Amino acid sequence: MDVALFDYGAGNLHSLKKGLEAGGGTVTITPDWDRALSAEALVLPGVGSFGAAVRSLRDREEDVREALEAGLPCLGICLGMQLFFAESEEGEGTGIGLLPGRVRKLKGRRVPQMGWNDVAAEGDTLFRATDPGQGLVAYYANSYVCELTGDPSPIIAWSEYEGERFPAAVRRGRAVGVQFHPEKSSSPGLRLLKNFLEEAAR
């Protein structure tokens, strides 16, 4: 499985690359959209800020959205999931616009959310075999969350932080986003990466 891990130019992608390779992917880190969109699967990582990440789109938002709508398997992690939306309170610029809604700041007193939190998954195949009978616990490092407008069916998992419930994962077709960091979420997170790659291979 040829996997393109997109590089926004910020952060360490090493642990995510290793996690994807452990799941069976042959991973290329690239800042080039032509290379990224020609891969068998695309991963948008969770490093950097919304404003910097949308600048890296370089007016390719429509190309990326059309590729995802046409069935290119994509996993958006944290910031990568937020890029599925058109706008964010974190910074200026336009995201991919794959899902309707916006990205807004967490309302809790302690922001960012840093550490482990429960994920209540709703039966999507992305979470297959990640639940050992006691629920999925995943690692978060986020100040912002996604807020969908209209149809809530793209939401496939929820989490709660300081009394605020927010989408932990979303799906549209073969594009899935998770607000947490699976590459930092121990064996259940690595299983999630493997599930994504197995589904992409099908």
183 is catalytic: yes
State the SS3 of 39-81.
CCEEEECCCCCHHHHHHHHCCCHHHHHHHHHCCCCEEEECHHH
For residue 38, what are the CA distances in angstroms to 29, 30, 65?
13, 12, 14
Phi, psi of 126 (to 5 degrees): -60, -30
162 is catalytic: no
Which one is catalytic: 61, 87, 90, 183? 183
Which one is catalytic: 87, 90, 146, 181? 181
- What tokens appear for 72 in the block? 């290119």
Q: Is 187 exposed, middle or buried (0-12, 13-18, 19+ CB in 10 A)?
A: exposed
Give Cα 186 to chain centroid, integer Å.
17
Which one is catalytic: 61, 78, 87, 90? 78
74 is catalytic: no
Q: Are 16 and 5 in contact (CB under 8 A)?
A: yes
Query: Which one, of 146, 168, 173, 175, lies nearest residue 42 by Cα?
Result: 175
Q: Is 29 exposed, middle or buried (0-12, 13-18, 19+ CB in 10 A)?
A: middle
Active site (catalytic) residues: 78, 181, 183
